[in-house]
Amino acid sequence: MTKKKSRFLQTPVEPFAVDSGLTADQLLARMEKISFQGRNLATAHRIWQKMLEDDVTIFLGMAGALSAGGLRLIVAHLIANRYVDCLVSTGANLYHDLHETRGQRHFIGSPQADDAALAEERIDRVYDTFASEEEFIGNDNWIAAFAATLEKRAYTSREFLYLLGGHLWKTTGRDGILTAAHRANVPIFCPAIADSSIGMGLSQARQKTPGAGYIDIIGDIVESANMIIRRPRTASVVLGGGTPKNFINQASVQAEFYSDEVSGHRYALQIVTDVPHFGGASGSSLEEAQSWGKLATDSARVSVQADATIALPILVSALATTAAPLVARRKAPAFTLASPVMTIDGETVPHDRFEEVNESAV
């Protein structure tokens, strides 16, 4: 009806057309033309493909009860197939992964459960999911026993988790996040390891063996920044915000102090349920991240406001179709993780001092 279309009215919304038998990638292809979070989820799918085509190190951050909630094998799949190159996780997600890899389960429960009755039976509740406290205590002991066997020195969380994954693989032979990362030589950082049952297990190692259970969490900062100094082109995929989201961004900001090559992530996608307007980092927008230099101002980016238990199964199922050829062609960075000093593509990456590419900005 309007004579000449406004510059604002270029690409029409295409109403989603229902068909039977649509696959995950077909669903997302149709959702790319609709609005709101449906469009954003489809955009996330496209941006992840672009990351895989480009030569970038892909960081994955995960917070929220994703492992307990049934997403751990998706994350293991992303690691094993190198859709991502480095995981930054809360301790809880690694712990609940270990719980299942050790052959134990989480259970379908209800948010209306009687918590006093659960406490009585020593069942722990995570919203609508239950688990046995006794089994959790068993895990703590298992972690403590393993940590007590290690040489008495401080470990970065990255080194410790690599060793833990190896021990888990050796004793169980089962797939999971920790075991997949061990086998694929994908580093895992856990900056808030002290705030988790893995941390509790480590603290109990001291009870068994004086001098055990020391983690060099500041070394993780150095090592993660050095990873970016070494390979300055990066991408960030964030599930749920929390410490992993900030740690991935901080690594880039820290790296920028020591290298002019670094200028923020080239790609960023986040799937979060928090909102920006209360000021917290978990919900902070990707636009805001540009002001800090966490993201390049010309980065491709999208924020999806959705529960990861809906968004991630669809997104990764779609990638399993669309990204398989990209992953096959991809030249991912090669890590070795078996010692205090990791290597990338054959070169060591120190955790006790930053690599200064420039004159120090500090």
Considering only residues 120 to 159 of the shown chain, the ones binding a copy of itself according to CB under 8 A are 121, 123-135, 137-138, 140-141, 144, 154
Please name the amino acid found at residue 197: S
| C-alpha to C-alpha distance for 317 and 134, rounded to whole angstroms | 35
Burial of 210 by CB count in 10 Å (0-12 exposed, 13-18 middle, 19+ buried)? exposed
Q: Of the two residues 12 and 346, which places its CB atom closer to a copy of itself in the complex?
A: 12
Instruction: From 211, 316, 228, 307, select the one nearest 265 (Cα to Cα).
Output: 228
Q: What is the DSSP string of 27-66?
A: HHHHHTTS-HHHHHHHHHHHHHHHHHHTT-EEEEEE-SST
Query: On the CB side of 228, how many CA atoms lie within 13 Å of its CA?
Result: 31
Burial of 214 by CB count in 10 Å (0-12 exposed, 13-18 middle, 19+ buried)? middle
Give the x/- contact pattern for a copy of itself in 321-340, rule: CB under 8 A: x--x----------------
236: which 2 tokens? Answer: 């960030």
Please report whether residue 13 would count as binding a copy of itself according to CB under 8 A: yes
Q: Is-catalytic flag, 208?
A: no
In whole angstroms, the minimum distance from the beta carbon of 165 to a copy of itself comes to: 17
| C-alpha to C-alpha distance for 345 and 311, rounded to whole angstroms | 33
Query: What value, to the nearest 5°, has the Cα angle with vertex 282 and ends 276 and 286?
Result: 60
Q: Of the two residues 102 and 233, which places its CB atom closer to a copy of itself in the complex?
A: 102
Instruction: Select from 262, 267, 270, 274 the one that contacts a copy of itself (CB under 8 A).
Output: 274
In whole angstroms, the minimum distance from the beta carbon of 189 to a copy of itself comes to: 9
Q: Mark the segment that binds a copy of itself (CB under 8 A) among 52-60, 179-187, 272-280, 341-349.
A: 272-280
Q: Of the two residues 77 and 233, which places its CB atom closer to a copy of itself in the complex?
A: 77
359: which 2 tokens? Answer: 């004159």
Instruction: Select from 165, 187, 213, 333 the one that contacts a copy of itself (CB under 8 A).
Output: 213
Using the Cα atoms of residue 264, residue 267, residue 270 and residue 275 in order, give the sign of their dihedral: positive
Helix (H) or strand (E) holding 149: helix 133-149
Please report whether residue 270 would count as binding a copy of itself according to CB under 8 A: no
Please report whether residue 357 would count as binding a copy of itself according to CB under 8 A: no
CB atoms within 10 A of CB 91: 23
Please report whether residue 233 would count as binding a copy of itself according to CB under 8 A: no
User: Of 5, 245, 294, 331, which one is the catalytic site residue?
Assistant: 294
Could you give phi then psi for residue 47, rounded to 5 degrees?
Answer: -70, -40
Pick out residues in 246-265 that bind a copy of itself (CB under 8 A): 246-247, 250, 253-254, 257
Instruction: Select from 51, 58, 60, 74 the one that contacts a copy of itself (CB under 8 A).
Output: 74
Q: Of the two residues 255 and 346, which places its CB atom closer to a copy of itself in the complex?
A: 255
In whole angstroms, the minimum distance from the beta carbon of 233 to a copy of itself comes to: 18
Q: Mark the segment that binds a copy of itself (CB under 8 A) among 45-53, 161-169, 178-186, 236-244.
A: 236-244
Instruction: Select from 235, 306, 342, 349 the one that contacts a copy of itself (CB under 8 A).
Output: 306
Please report whether residue 204 would count as binding a copy of itself according to CB under 8 A: yes
Residues with active-site annotation: 294
